A and B are shown apart, each in its own frame.
Chain A
């Protein structure tokens, strides 16, 4: 019994991030609303940030700012958490914000053009506006080419 508890205590952070990541993944592939898809992508990214930050944690460690770095008394036996994943995630957060901004701008343009955020409505409107680009017309042209 204590063996199972040890495993749970050692790995529960990975289970939390997998759960969060799968919530975001489900929102990305199952939801029809484009805004909800973007929210799912953001949850997915946050799960990856949490994964990296939890990898860098050390039990009993403090934030990676050097004690006595500003000229106070120097503490030698302080444990610092791993600073390298923090830097990596700082860059990743900036990229996440940029991709979210571009995605939301694209969604605003789509809404102005089609008057809807629902995937099926947009696809139907596209088929009506530009029948030459619809899936049926594309398959027909492919069939014609293969006949020749």
Chain B
């Protein structure tokens, strides 16, 4: 059983490393994700549009505000699930 698990893990890892050859090099400034128009737009314009110097904060709270709202819903659901699972039952 352990040998089978090890076999599956090694095969999956080898496949991931093989697929990783096509990814951009570490720290490459010409990588597609950095040169994408969206990334450059956020770096150049987020201060004027949101007034926050921290680009991550501007993205999280301004451009992706609805996503952050959904995130709080996730935390709320998890908290309710934990309370329902761990409360003491009156029997």
Residues of A within 8 A of B (CB): 9-15, 18-19, 21-22, 25-26, 29-30, 54-61, 64-66, 69-70, 79-80, 82-87, 90-91, 94-95, 97-99, 101-102, 105-106, 108-109
Contact = CB atoms under 8 A, between A and B. Distances in A.
A109 B43 contact: no
Contact of B27 (A25, A26, A58, A99): A58
Given A22-B9, A106-B85, A109-B86, A64 B27 contact: no
24 contacts: A10-B25, A14-B16, A14-B23, A18-B16, A21-B13, A30-B6, A55-B24, A57-B27, A58-B27, A60-B27, A64-B55, A64-B56, A65-B56, A66-B54, A87-B56, A87-B59, A87-B64, A91-B60, A91-B71, A94-B74, A101-B79, A102-B81, A102-B85, A105-B86
Interface of B: 1-2, 5-6, 8-10, 12-13, 16-17, 20-21, 23-29, 31, 33-34, 38-39, 42-43, 46-47, 52-56, 59-60, 64, 67-68, 71, 74-75, 77-79, 81-82, 85-86
A98 B56 contact: no
Question: By CB atoms of chain B within 10 A, which of A19, A70, A86, A90 has the most?
Answer: A90
Of all A-B residue pairs in the complex, the 10 with the closest CB atoms, nearest first, are: A69-B53, A59-B27, A98-B78, A10-B25, A30-B5, A14-B20, A64-B55, A83-B55, A22-B13, A105-B85
Contacts of B8: 29
B9 A25 contact: yes
A50 to B, nearest CB: 12
